[in-house]
Structure 1
Amino acid sequence: MASGDLERGPKNRGNNANFPSYYVETAEKQWTSWIIPMFVVANIAVFIVVMYVNDCPKKSLGIEGSCVAKFLGRFSFQPLKENPLFGPSAATLEKMGALEWDKVVHGHQGWRLITCMWLHAGVVHVLANMLSLIFIGIRLEQQFGFVRVGIIYLVSGFGGSILSSLFIQQNISVGASGALFGLLGAMLSELLTNWTIYSNKIAALLTLVVIIAINLAVGILPHVDNFAHIGGFVSGFLLGFVFLLRPQFGWAKNRHSPADGRVKSKHKAYQYVFMLAAAVLLIVGFTLALVMLFKGENGNDHCSWCHYLSCVPTSKWNCRS
């Protein structure tokens, strides 16, 4: 969230673009999407509750006229100089469960690694993320079902929060973008592991890579928590190899009436290799990251250049402001 005037401004976890469509050479049933719409409703409901608690007219030092959209009463927004995204104060977000390193590590409030995924810095933030979630998540859920997509969404958001806590320790962070980038990462690994059943493979891969690159590039702007994006993306990328395997093209037909008398394997050998490697990396990565986090370590001490992944200073802005 671009709120340089805040003493301890929240990091806005940005939004994602649409994703490409490409033809899959298989005939799988379409699932009914319900968990993604439920996530959307939950995020919007939480934002409404946060604005109710925020109560700008009462809590903004008695300066009632400084609130934006005063006709909304206690749901009116903080002054734009404080929060240009039309949302609550940083203090309210912190109170409601925003990610804050000191409270997670020294205050034993690890639950913030999860609650921050459901908080947003403003109307602009929540709408951008929820529109992206609808475009990305519903199609994935229709293809793979609510269990797998739900797990990828939640675990990716958790992974994004962990990486954010390791590298951003002076600000609070909120947003569902770690989870959204997890879905993008899962789309990429799903394309790679199911490569043989796709047509227009190269076009689909290039389109998806460009979309991911653009969204990650936006994260190097100041006040955007790109570490949450990266952590969510890597988590989702690995989870895709584990949960989003498709059978070989023609497996179901050949299974029932094999032409040569042999039953065709449901998956190719490389799919199992990817799945095993991804599962090991996930377990090892999450374990090491959580140990480092709760030992109070700063990720920047182990990587002197990693701070550039979240913000690149220029003559127009200072990343430390």
Structure 2
Amino acid sequence: MMGSRDLEKNRDVNNNQSYNQVNYPQQSSGYHIETSERQWTSWLVPMIVVANVAMFIVVMFINNCPKNNFGFDGCVARFLGRFSFQPLRQNPLLGPSSNTLLKLGALQWDKVVHQHQGWRLISCIWLHAGVIHLLVNMLSLVFIGIRLEQQFGFIRIGMLYLVSGVGGSVLSALFLQQNISVGASGALFGLLGAMLSELLTNWTIYANKAAALFTLLIMIAINLAVGILPHVDNFAHIGGFVSGFLLGFVLLLRPRFGWRERHQLPEHARVKTKYMPYQVVLFFIALAALVAGFIIALVMLFQGKNGNDHCRWCRYLTCVPTSRWECGK
């Protein structure tokens, strides 16, 4: 079965619901910025959703289950014609075949390394294994991404999304060399990691800091723990999360707010805001770690290295064998 990235659960911001059934405090619950700020109009995240849905339609059109399965025998939702899904024994997520995904840009180590198709590190982010995979990822993107884009703008969130997605793809290719992988989960975990680093680097401007940090850590731990189930590409999750976490210190730091209020200055007064010293330190440490990590990982990947040779226990990060299931070698 293909290595899909579909285990992230949606989080409802407006109704204070959960991301994987853990409440994330919003502004109404005390997790808020001490002063109001400009809100951006979110348009990039909706466009990414539209692009992913459009790409899935194109994939299903090309897949053409009836033709490739010699008729409708075995195809799911046969009334959809050439858009019907592969038999459930091939793809239980209601989607195309692995061959179609591979043809259209799914991530595979051999093609990236030996056939010099590095573009697959990006193209795989826009492909999904099925309707269920697509639905879960897009709901997660809407509930997480729109909030971040409203606060920080489309440029920074767009960079976070793409860099995190590539980071997840690189780590996945290093450790899962026998499978193919598709999905936006690495990019989504990058946004989740950026939420954590944003909270840490802007620590002084939030209320109820400890409660917000604890809730966010529990939420992250549950999401990563679910990734140890079989057939889930947890390396993409981890790579995306680490990339987004580091990049969040670089892109999402805020100037020191509250200075105007403490000095009782009027709204129209010009105030020179400054960054806290710890923000500057975290900025340079995170930037150096991010650049070094990408350089090392990419060099190892294109030299054909197998990450499992350098970390024997790392295979358990993506699948833990139990009496109920086995993990691939």
Give me the TM-score of the superposition, normalised by structure 1: 0.93
Matched, 1:24 2:33: yes
Deviation at 1:247, TM superposition (A): 1.5
Whether the 8 Å CA contact 2:257–2:273 is kept in 1: the answer is no
Letter paired with 1:93:
L
**In 2, Cα distance between equivalents of 1:114 and 1:161:** 8
**In 2, Cα distance between equivalents of 1:255 and 1:284:** 42
Q: 1:51 aligns with which of 57, 60, 63?
A: 60
1:180-219 → structure 2 map (5 Å cutoff): 180-219=188-227
Deviation at 1:11, TM superposition (A): 3.2
Matched, 1:106 2:114: yes
Q: 2:7 aligns with which of 6, 14, 19?
A: 14
Whether the 8 Å CA contact 2:164–2:243 is kept in 1: the answer is yes
Letter paired with 1:248:
R
Q: 1:245 aligns with which of 250, 253, 256?
A: 253
| Deviations 1:179-212, CA, capped at 9 Å, x for gaps | 0000000000000000010001111111111111
The corresponding residue for 2:101 is 93
The corresponding residue for 1:167 is 175
Whether the 8 Å CA contact 2:110–2:177 is kept in 1: the answer is yes
> What SS class does the counterpart of residue 173 from structure 1 fall into?
strand
Q: Which consecutive residues of structure 2, in runs of 5 or more, have no partner in the other structure? A: 12-18
Q: Residues 310, 10 of structure 1: CA spacing in aligned structure 2 closer, same or farther, 3 A cutoff? A: closer
Output the aligned Cα RMSD.
1.7
The corresponding residue for 1:75 is 83
The corresponding residue for 2:289 is 281
Q: Residues 274, 43 of structure 1: CA spacing in aligned structure 2 closer, same or farther, 3 A cutoff? A: same
The total of aligned residue pairs comes to 309
**In 2, Cα distance between equivalents of 1:176 and 1:157:** 7
The corresponding residue for 1:33 is 42
**In 2, Cα distance between equivalents of 1:13 and 1:161:** 14
**In 1, Cα distance between equivalents of 2:4 and 2:257:** 44
Deviation at 1:23, TM superposition (A): 1.0
Q: Which consecutive residues of structure 1, in runs of 5 or more, have no partner in the other structure? A: 4-8
Identity, in percent, stands at 69
| Deviations 1:38-97, CA, capped at 9 Å, x for gaps | 00000000000000000000001x142210001100000000111111000000000010
Q: Residues 246, 55 of structure 1: CA spacing in aligned structure 2 closer, same or farther, 3 A cutoff? A: same
**In 1, Cα distance between equivalents of 2:38 and 2:234:** 36
Deviation at 1:248, TM superposition (A): 1.3
Letter paired with 2:52:
N
**In 1, Cα distance between equivalents of 2:52 and 2:290:** 27
The corresponding residue for 1:320 is 328
> What SS class does the counterpart of residue 65 from structure 1 fall into?
coil
The corresponding residue for 1:267 is 275
**In 2, Cα distance between equivalents of 1:218 and 1:124:** 16
Deviation at 1:246, TM superposition (A): 1.1
Letter paired with 1:27:
S
